[in-house]
Amino acid sequence: MASNGLQPAEGLNGGYAKINNWKAPGSAAFNFKSDTTTTPTVAMLESITYTTLLDDVTQHDSTTNDLQTWVAGLLGQPAGLLTSSGTMGNQLAARAHLTNPPYSVVADEGSHILSWEAGGIAANSGALPVPAKRTNGRYITLEDIQAVAILHDDTHYAPTKMVSIENTVDGVGVPVAECARICAWAREHGIKTHLDGARLWEVAAANVARNENANEHNLRAALEKEIHAYGNLFDSVTVCFSKGLGAPIGSILVGSEVFIKQARHVRKSWGGGMRQTGIIAAPARVAVEDTFFSGQLVRSHEVAKRIAKSWTDKGGKLTAPVDTNMVWIDLSSTTRQQVWLAEAEREGLHVYGGARGRIVVHYQICEEAVERLGRVFDKVIAEDRSSVVTNGVKQGEFGGYTAIQNQAKYTERAGDGDEV
């Protein structure tokens, strides 16, 4: 019997594969698809049993109010608003900032607010989305934004009224100095700035890890300093509790008191007002305390670097630098992609396909999963590249693997579309 009294499920991952994560690790332990697969810890679940159960629509729930005030303070902002998702937080920010059309919003071409939120910028705020390219190949810069921003008053165009910076994109953080340049320029031109910080926790953890003066004794203070340095630059910020931190649900939007009052009104009109939100706020606070401030993210970044080194030591190439918790491996050949997916499935690992091979490391990944991933790397690197699969039709066999008849089974899009 498992430690929680449940019979372990059959299969390669035993009890990890099927049971809920109430008393034992869930399937997130073997899931490299996204840090959204993290599940609540026992401490998070227990917090629900002693939380307050009052109404957030009337703003009477003290657990929720305390969380909003606390996180806003961490980010250097006066007020906060709990939201059911990061998508809602981003969309509320745009709708609350943009009040006098026409207008456009500039953001990284790969950012969630432009590409992964179902066209919400246009549908909810009537804004023209304007994508900016990362010319340095890593992160967005002021010059990238200036290249596409609309500052003139020609009536044929929708002037830029908001700039949204996502941090991270593809696991790469935007330096705080670059964010400061962007925000200073935007203020000069009367442009609102929003930080989609769904993974801002990861950026702060990575920056602290690079600081030689940081140690376990001053870790909390160092993390607080980093998160505050980013948050107080922008007019609004969203951060997520359910991605890499492990909370079951929730994000938060922070900004000025006037801005949050408007966002709260819009949230209600969208059906986003909730009653007993203490059951969301309580585990969210535990997630920040137990995962972020304890250094769990710093350790997961170390695992990501180990995985990247394992791949390159075996002869593989990376398609992007490892800055935080994401590893991007070169799976540009069709053969490699199919071996990657087939071997990962055989090892009981959850991974995405695609040429870039995104691997997301989170603090609930177990050591056994890392070892299995190394065995998958061995098979991918060793595989004969001579066989070809064209248009999803079997063209032969390669290295003992039969080409996939229906390739669609193995071509899940490996983008960053995991914000909810």
pLDDT at 388: 42
The verdict on 316 and 254 lying in the same domain is no
Domain extent for 113: 43-292
Q: Are 288 and 71 in contact (CB under 8 A)?
A: yes
Tokens of 83: 């939201």
Q: Work out the pLDDT band at 273, boundaries 50, 70, 90.
A: very high
CATH number at residue 170: 3.40.640.10
Compute the distance between CA of residue 273 and CA of residue 275 in angstroms, rounded to an integer: 7
Tokens for 363, please give them: 């603090």
Whether the CB-CB separation of 304 and 327 falls below 8 Å is answered with: yes
> Do 232 and 374 fall into the same domain?
no
Would you say residue 411 has pLDDT above 50?
no
Domain boundary among 266, 292, 318: 292
Using DSSP's 3-state secondary structure scheme, residue 160 falls into: strand
pTM for the model stands at 0.88
Across all residues in the chain, what is the average pLDDT?
Answer: 88
* Residue 121 domain-assigned (yes or no): yes
pLDDT attached to residue 264: 98
Q: How far is CA 42 from CA 77, 296, 300, in A?
A: 31, 16, 20
Last residue of one domain, picked from the residues 261, 292, 323: 292
> Would residue 16 count as lying in a domain?
no
C-beta of residue 21 within 8 angstroms of C-beta of residue 366? no
> Are 253 and 351 in the same domain?
no
* 163 phi/psi in degrees, rounded to 5: -120, 130
Q: Specify the DSSP class assigned to residue 57.
A: T
- Indicate if 177 and 310 belong to the same structural domain: no
Residues 62 and 131 both lie in one domain:
yes
When pLDDT is averaged across residues 359-376 and rounded to a whole number, the result is: 97
CA–CA separation, 373 and 115 (whole Å): 30
Per-residue pLDDT tens digits for 64-94: 999 999 999 999 999 999 999 999 999 999 9
Q: Distance between CA atoms of 419 and 14, rounded to whole angstroms?
A: 29
Across 207-347, the runs of DSSP E, i.e. the strands, are: 236-240, 251-255, 326-328
Over the stretch 104-124, which tens digit does the pLDDT of each residue have?
A: 999 999 999 999 999 999 999
pLDDT in tens, 139-164: 999 999 999 999 999 999 999 999 99
Give me the number of domains the chain comprises: 2
